[in-house]
Amino acid sequence: MAPPPKRNTGPNALRRGRASVPHADYFVTVCVQPRLPVLVPGIAPALLAETHRLTADGAWALRCLTVMPDHAHLFFTLGARLTLSQAMARLKTKTQALLRPQGAGWQENFYDHRLRPEDSAESVIRYLWLNPPRAGLVAEGETWPYFYCRDEDWEWLRDLTDNGQPFPEWLG
């Protein structure tokens, strides 16, 4: 009897099957290594600024971003100028120096999910918006200061909320 196949593990496992498709929407998570809570409050504004520079440079069009204490979630439409890996490498390179004094750095890789045309952007944006309250980082009625959503996405999402606040059942 043959041994079971090896699991798709190791530092390069996240790269297997990765496709870089210009103009596709991507949901990406990038983590601090080691998982130290160093991103908020100090590094989050610079991280957000760099994501906007990547938008201005045509690497992507940032749709939504949530910076958590030890990781960040991004939702963007990839541009044609850089591949997905190149865009993420640029983000990490430009912000790496901010992590070093904290005894941290970026994990070598990142998690990505390319949305297919039939996938819901609403579920991704709602996940990013709800991540801080679900983690207990903000009290009811407060907003997470390290969440960004471009106006055209927030306009339709806001219409699905309880006057700009999550419904209690969304946080359960």
pLDDT score of 11: 46
pLDDT attached to residue 19: 86
pLDDT tens sequence across 29-60:
999 999 999 999 999 999 999 999 999 999 99
**Per-residue pLDDT at 167:** 63
Question: Once rounded to an integer, what is the mean pLDDT over residues 87-103?
Answer: 96
Show me where the domains of the chain are located: 20-134+142-165
Mind listing the pLDDT tens digit for each residue in 108-150?
A: 999 999 999 899 899 999 999 989 998 999 887 788 999 999 9
Residue 95 dihedral angles phi and psi, to the nearest 5°: -115, -5
Backbone angles phi, psi at 25, to 5 degrees: -90, 135
Tell me what pLDDT residue 4 has.
53
Q: Is the pLDDT of residue 168 over 70?
A: no
20-134+142-165: CATH homologous superfamily?
A: Transposase IS200-like (3.30.70.1290)
pLDDT at 17 over 80: no
| Number of Cβ atoms within 10 Å of the Cβ of 148 | 20
Omega of the bond leading into 45 within 30 degrees of 0 (cis): no
